[in-house]
Structure 1
Amino acid sequence: MDLIEKYLIKAISPGNVVHLFKFSSPEASNAIKLHQKCVEFFMKCLKETISIYAVESLGETFLASMVLKSLHANFTDTNTYY
């Protein structure tokens, strides 16, 4: 399984990340490394505003959590309060 995960991690793209994410989920094949790399790829795409094929199929809850994580990761406290 490690060889397959390494191969698929190198192949992650905006066109296949949704399929790889679903394939690697704990409910499907439990490919933990691949699953984590897919999440990291989603975050990268959010930051760089890269479109992801079939992302809507992941559901609103997952997508909302990715957006919140992305916003949290970009937040820096400048000690400026309004």
Structure 2
Amino acid sequence: MFQSKIDKTEENKITITAFEFEIVEIAIKYFYGINITVFLNISYGIKLLQFADVYGISDLKKSMESYLYHQKSPMNICEIVNASILSNSIKLREHCFDYFIECMKKSVFIKDLDILNNDFVLNLLKASFSHCC
């Protein structure tokens, strides 16, 4: 699991340098069956989603996809969309896409539209015109 982004030393230690300590610590708690939701916020959820994608931890990835989807709001949806794209989370991206369509229909203000992935915006624009007639 940790083959690609780690350094093993002769002391049977593993050093993970691509993620901050808190993220690795939460992931380890998850591996031991500890409920990690009390440690989570959107930022940690996104980083854990990326961690799970990098190291191929499918159950953690599914858990973070679900967590992030249930935490979505007009104030953080752009950040979650971008994370879903970077983490190859098709299911989360599709759910966010549907949420965007709902927000558009209701004219809901979405924060940080300028950070949204360009391809996602283009697909959203295409979908909005295909549903209008």
Runs of 4+, deviation exceeding 6 Å: none
1:11 is matched with 71
| Residue of structure 2 aligned with 1:45, choices 99, 103, 123 | 103
Per the TM alignment, residue 24 of structure 1 is displaced from its structure 2 partner at its CA by 0.5
Question: What CA RMSD, in Å, does the superposition of the two structures yield over aligned residues?
Answer: 1.8
Structure 1 residues 49 and 35, CA gap change in structure 2 (3 angstroms): same
Query: What does the per-residue CA deviation read over 1:8-59, in whole Å, with 9 as the maximum and x for residues that have no partner?
Result: 111111011000000010xx11111111111111111111000100012226
- Give unpaired runs (5+ residues) of structure 1: 76-82
- Give unpaired runs (5+ residues) of structure 2: 1-60
Structure 1 residues 10 and 65, CA gap change in structure 2 (3 angstroms): same
Q: How many residues are aligned here?
A: 73
Q: State yes or no: 1:34 paired with 2:111.
A: no
**2:69–2:95: 8 Å Cα contact kept in structure 1?**
yes
Q: Which has the higher contact order (CA 8 A, sep 6+)?
A: 1
Give the TM-score of the pair, scaled to structure 2. 0.49
User: Hey, which of these two has a bigger chunk of strand by percent?
Assistant: 2
Q: Percent identity?
A: 27
- How far, CA to CA, are the matches of 1:74 and 1:3 in structure 2? 35
- How far, CA to CA, are the matches of 2:95 and 2:82 in structure 1? 12
Structure 1 residues 9 and 61, CA gap change in structure 2 (3 angstroms): closer
Per the TM alignment, residue 65 of structure 1 is displaced from its structure 2 partner at its CA by 4.0
1:57 is matched with 115
- How far, CA to CA, are the matches of 2:63 and 2:120 in structure 1? 28
